[in-house]
């Protein structure tokens, strides 16, 4: 133990200028964020996004640099290192390096950040909540950097190998998707994760105990290769297109968020920009009340629902309690989970922007959102610039609807048909695919020329939302009043309802029609 | 007792055999010089001995332990200095010594101070600011101060100027007088090594040509000059232990590898009855060069004149 500390002292002395610079960078960020958070303007938030993005990039690079420097203080690859012929055990060195890396990359930034979080009004529990998340991300970066550092000798080779691996990883992932269509199940993924852990341990043992660099390097290469082939996070080319319907489809994909996203208390936040889906905001049990208020945009009132219990049944389906009153503030139920289907616009920056802009967690959230984006590419739409005011703070984005069971939108089966539905949202995606097993970075936009809806009810409200804003027309079938909406044609089919024909501009990525009706029964909706 | 022993040691890099069937013994208390030209396999041998490389075949034992199992306990008794060793460049000399000291229970602070003075090392200067020679002296100091039983020096003089070489050698000589240490040194700088060693092994092409006490080696090697009255007949058959046989008019020169006073002269007189024979003692360097030349195919042919 004494000698481990002895090595650590030496290593920390070697890297202190860089270490200090990094902590300085973190500290400098705080007043900036405070300033932008308090200003709460769109412009400020955008700027904060930029600052946070650059900061995360800097964090990642500095973590890699610090870990590399720590490990290369006593190089493991090659035979020229000073320590090799000294009475230093491999295990001592391993523990010393790991402890130093954890201290530098995980513990020390928290020492800077925690007081700030306290300053924002978060209590110990809340701060502790985010520590896990923060620790996970930095530890992940740390392990990755550690692996590359122990199999390389110099900084140049470290960066070269790292960049080459990332590029090769992406190329291989893209290429393999052309001929390898592999869907990874949950259990397979678990096996992959455990295999990865075993591989990491194997490489570490080979280098620190056995000092067999060639075997360690080969193992790491093979591991990266296999990961690239099967990883769901590897970019894929989506070569197929399909359309999805979105008429009260059951939630088929639940995305579990990554822990906590802190917003300053009473922080006015922009909701995400272009994912239409379910946003479940989980409020910690310590809170007895939450206010969620839209400052801009609209609630679709009947969709503001409170889920019972944890909101999920044994099969993982969401349980929807009777919809509460539309009015804000909404009351929190006993379990503290709200799920609101709002015309929200989920920006890729959302979590990052509003939640925890001064830690990489937010960016990690962004990454996850990007992943969702790849899965739910058809759901993306700029609906409206909605804003929410949180009386408490948003902790997690736990689910986003993804409409996995895709069917072509040539004819929408009236899934929501039947009496009793008073609201349906028709969702005509422009392209992309939700069922791509591994996601895709590939976004397609196919113009939808027109949509025809036939319904046999008395419409009292028709709302059409597009990228350029929202239009709403109301009327009653009984009145035979023609619904006019910017060049759209509507044909009264008498008892059969209305035929609504909409000419959509080229390259409109998304069209959404919200119909509020009594006893709505959609017969057909189609594209040519 | 032998501090280092190898038995039919083989080390290959792919198909290339760097060390071939090396059987070697280094007696305790000796200063053993492993000599050889560049690429002879000296560094590879040392790396195998230090467990920096694994042997392909055969066995190497250091301080009685299989080199593959050298651990902390053995390393406490081994000092290693190599031209390729990387010292932490950001450390000062003082910091390096402070870092090394706790690892060795036998660290001798008096010896450390003495060597600091002896080597004229600036304690507060960073290692990256030191010359190559100074850095080598720091490495040597950090390997001597704990009085290892075995000191391994791999090409320690490479790239050092003559003055620093002298200081380095003097340093090793001084400490080797202090205790009963074994020094194993590899080099192709034979003049320097000659001042140090009492045992030598000569390695060429991964094969050990000889291993012997320097004293005995120098006793049996002689540069012999034979001056004949008439031109030498080229068909004279010379013994195999005469190396580098040359003739120029009436003068013959060769290296006697098995010199015994009187006997060599008698052998010469059998072939050249009226010749004047003189035998000169040889330095280790001359012996080494003679052996290297003898390795060349044309020399062997020459030896059969």
User: In angstroms, what separates the C-alpha of B22 from chain A's closest C-alpha?
Assistant: 22
- What confidence tens digit (pLDDT) does each residue in A293-311 have? 433 333 332 222 233 223 3
Q: Which of A3, A6, A87 sits opposite B75 (nearest CB)?
A: A87
Q: Check if B80 contacts A (Cβ < 8 Å).
A: yes
For chain B, helix (H) and strand (E) counts, in that order, are 11, 14
What stretches of A103-212 show up as alpha helix (H) in DSSP? 108-119, 124-150, 155-179, 186-205
- What is the pLDDT, as a whole number, of residue A448? 32
**Looking at residues B160-165, what average pLDDT do you find?**
80
- What confidence tens digit (pLDDT) does each residue in B248-261 have? 778 888 888 888 87
Other CB atoms within 10 A of residue A196 CB: 15
User: B12 is written with which tokens?
Assistant: 């290959």
Residue among B75, B101, B152 with most chain A CBs within 10 A, to mutate: B75
User: In angstroms, what separates the C-alpha of B156 from chain A's closest C-alpha?
Assistant: 14
Residue B15 scores a pLDDT above 80: yes
Nearest chain B residue to A89 by CA distance is: B72
- What is the pLDDT, as a whole number, of residue A445? 29
Residue among A87, A90, A211 with most chain B CBs within 10 A, to mutate: A87
User: In angstroms, what separates the C-alpha of A314 from chain B's closest C-alpha?
Assistant: 56
Task: Inspect the interface and report whether the beta carbons of B52 and A14 lie closer than 8 Å.
Answer: no
CB-based contact A455:A434 (threshold 8 Å): no
Task: Inspect the interface and report whether the beta carbons of A3 and B102 lie closer than 8 Å.
Answer: yes
pLDDT, greater one: A466 or B28: B28
| Cα B263 to Cα B275: distance, rounded to the nearest angstrom | 15
Nearest chain B residue to A75 by CA distance is: B86
Residue among B52, B54, B67 with most chain A CBs within 10 A, to mutate: B52
What is the complex's ipTM, to 2 decimals? 0.80
User: Burial code of B93-109, b = ≥16 C-beta within 10 A, e = fewer?
Assistant: bebbbebbbebbeebbe
Task: Inspect the interface and report whether the beta carbons of A10 and B88 lie closer than 8 Å.
Answer: yes
Residue A346 scores a pLDDT above 60: no
**Looking at residues A126-146, what average pLDDT do you find?**
78
| Cα A244 to Cα A412: distance, rounded to the nearest angstrom | 9
**Looking at residues B26-43, what average pLDDT do you find?**
87
- What is the pLDDT, as a whole number, of residue A52? 65
Give the predicted TM-score (pTM) of the model. Answer: 0.62
A451 to each of A402, A411, A448, A518, how far by Cα in Å?
Answer: 22, 10, 8, 22
Largest CA distance in chain A: 94
Q: Check if B105 contacts A (Cβ < 8 Å).
A: no
Helix (H, G, I), strand (E, B) or coil at B225: strand
**Looking at residues A395-415, what average pLDDT do you find?**
29
CB-based contact A475:A483 (threshold 8 Å): yes
- What is the pLDDT, as a whole number, of residue B120? 84
- What is the pLDDT, as a whole number, of residue A166? 81
| Cα A378 to Cα A364: distance, rounded to the nearest angstrom | 22
Nearest to A338 by CA among A388, A266, A274: A388
Nearest chain A residue to B91 by CA distance is: A14
- What confidence tens digit (pLDDT) does each residue in A424-479 have? 333 333 332 222 223 322 223 232 333 334 444 444 444 444 444 444 444 444 43
Using a CB-CB distance cutoff of 8 angstroms, which residues of chain B are in contact with residue A2? 102
Using a CB-CB distance cutoff of 8 angstroms, which residues of chain A are in contact with residue B95? 13
- What confidence tens digit (pLDDT) does each residue in A169-178 have? 777 766 665 5
User: In angstroms, what separates the C-alpha of B92 from chain A's closest C-alpha?
Assistant: 11
- What is the pLDDT, as a whole number, of residue A20? 93
CB-based contact A340:A292 (threshold 8 Å): yes
Confidence of residue B179 (pLDDT cuts 50, 70, 90): low
Helix (H, G, I), strand (E, B) or coil at B15: coil
Counted across chains A and B, CB pairs separated by less than 8 A come out at: 47
Q: Which of A3, A6, A80 sits opposite B85 (nearest CB)?
A: A80
Name A256's Cβ contacts closer than 8 Å, sequence gap at least 6.
Answer: A398, A399
Residue A17 scores a pLDDT above 60: yes
Q: Check if B87 contacts A (Cβ < 8 Å).
A: yes
Q: What are A346's strand-pairing partners?
A: A273
B101 to each of B30, B90, B139, B143, how far by Cα in Å?
Answer: 26, 18, 13, 10
What is the percent of chain A with per-residue pLDDT over 70, rounded to a whole number?
32
């Amino acid at each position: 133990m004494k000698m481990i500390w002895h090595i650590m002292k030496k290593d920390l002395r070697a890297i202190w200028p860089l270490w200090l610079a990094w902590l300085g960078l973190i500290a400098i960020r705080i007043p900036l964020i405070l300033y932008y958070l308090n200003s709460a303007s769109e412009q400020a938030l955008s700027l904060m996004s930029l600052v946070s993005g650059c900061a995360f990039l800097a964090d990642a690079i500095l973590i890699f640099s610090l870990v590399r420097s720590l490990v290369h203080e006593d190089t493991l690859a090659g035979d020229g290192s000073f320590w090799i012929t000294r009475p230093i055990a491999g295990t001592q060195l391993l523990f010393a390096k790991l402890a130093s890396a954890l201290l530098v990359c995980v513990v020390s930034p928290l020492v800077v950040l925690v007081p700030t979080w306290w300053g924002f009004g978060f209590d110990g529990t809340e701060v502790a909540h985010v520590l896990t998340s923060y620790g996970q991300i930095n530890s992940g970066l740390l392990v990755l950097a550690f692996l590359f550092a122990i199999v390389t000798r110099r900084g140049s080779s470290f960066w070269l190998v790292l960049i080459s691996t990332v590029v090769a990883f992406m190329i291989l992932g893209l290429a393999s998707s052309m001929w390898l269509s592999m869907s990874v199940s949950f259990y397979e993924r678990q096996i992959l994760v455990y295999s990865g852990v075993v591989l990491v341990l194997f490489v570490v043992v080979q280098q620190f105990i056995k000092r067999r660099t060639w075997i360690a390097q080969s193992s790491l290469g093979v591991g990266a290769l296999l990961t690239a082939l099967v990883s769901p996070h590897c970019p894929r080319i989506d070569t197929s297109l399909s359309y999805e319907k979105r008429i009260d489809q059951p939630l088929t994909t639940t995305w579990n968020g990554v822990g906590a996203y802190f917003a300053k208390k009473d922080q006015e936040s922009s909701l995400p920009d272009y994912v239409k889906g379910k946003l479940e905001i989980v409020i910690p049990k310590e809170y007895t009340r939450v206010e969620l208020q839209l400052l801009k945009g609209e609630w679709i009132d009947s969709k503001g629902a409170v889920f019972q219990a944890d909101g999920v049944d044994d099969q993982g389906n969401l349980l929807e309690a009777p919809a509460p009153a539309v009015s804000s503030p909404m009351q929190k139920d006993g379990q503290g989970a709200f799920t609101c289907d709002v015309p929200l616009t989920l920006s890729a920056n959302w979590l990052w922007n509003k939640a925890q802009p001064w830690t990489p967690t937010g960016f990690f959230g962004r990454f996850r959102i990007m992943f969702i984006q790849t899965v739910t590419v058809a759901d993306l739409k700029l609906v409206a610039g909605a804003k929410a005011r949180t009386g408490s703070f948003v902790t997690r984005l736990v689910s986003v609807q993804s409409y996995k069971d895709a069917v072509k939108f040539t004819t929408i089966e009236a899934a929501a048909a039947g009496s009793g539905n008073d609201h349906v949202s028709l969702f005509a995606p422009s392209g992309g695919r939700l069922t791509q097993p591994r996601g895709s970075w590939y976004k397609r936009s196919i113009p939808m020329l027109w949509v025809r809806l036939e319904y046999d009810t008395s419409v009292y409200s028709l709302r059409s939302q597009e990228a350029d804003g929202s239009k709403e027309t109301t009327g009653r079938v009984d009145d035979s009043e023609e619904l006019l909406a910017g060049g759209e044609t509507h044909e009264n089919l008498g008892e059969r309802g209305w035929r609504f024909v909409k000419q959509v501009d080229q390259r409109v990525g998304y069209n959404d029609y919200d119909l509020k009706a009594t006893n709505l029964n959609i017969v057909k909706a189609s594209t040519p | 007792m032998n501090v280092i022993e190898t038995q039919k040691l083989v080390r290959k890099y792919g198909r290339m055999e760097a060390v071939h069937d090396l059987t070697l013994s280094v007696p305790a208390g000796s200063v053993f010089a492993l000599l050889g030209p560049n690429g002879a396999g000296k560094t590879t041998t040392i790396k195998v001995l230090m467990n920096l490389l694994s042997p392909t075949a055969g066995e190497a034992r250091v301080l009685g332990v299989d080199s593959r199992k050298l651990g902390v306990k053995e390393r406490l008794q081994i000092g290693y200095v190599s031209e390729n060793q990387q010292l932490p460049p950001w450390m000062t000399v003082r910091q390096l010594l402070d870092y090394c000291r706790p690892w060795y229970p036998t660290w001798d602070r008096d010896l450390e101070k003495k060597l600091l003075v002896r080597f004229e090392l600036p304690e507060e200067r960073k290692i990256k600011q030191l010359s190559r020679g100074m850095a080598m002296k720091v490495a040597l100091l950090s390997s001597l101060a704990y009085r290892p039983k075995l000191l391994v020096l791999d090409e320690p003089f490479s790239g050092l100027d003559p003055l620093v070489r002298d200081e380095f050698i003097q340093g090793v000589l001084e400490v080797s007088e202090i205790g009963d240490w074994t020094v194993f040194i590899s080099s192709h700088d034979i003049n320097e090594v000659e001042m140090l060693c009492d045992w030598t092994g000569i390695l060429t092409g991964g094969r050990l040509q000889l291993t012997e006490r320097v004293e005995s080696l120098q006793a049996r090697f002689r540069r012999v000059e034979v001056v004949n009255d008439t031109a030498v007949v080229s068909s004279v058959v010379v013994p195999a232990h005469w190396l580098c046989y040359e003739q120029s008019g009436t003068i013959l020169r060769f290296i006697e590898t098995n010199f015994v006073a009187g006997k060599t002269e008698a052998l010469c007189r059998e072939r050249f009855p009226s010749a004047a024979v003189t035998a000169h003692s040889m330095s280790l360097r001359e012996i080494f060069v003679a052996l290297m030349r003898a390795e060349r195919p044309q020399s062997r042919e020459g030896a059969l004149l």
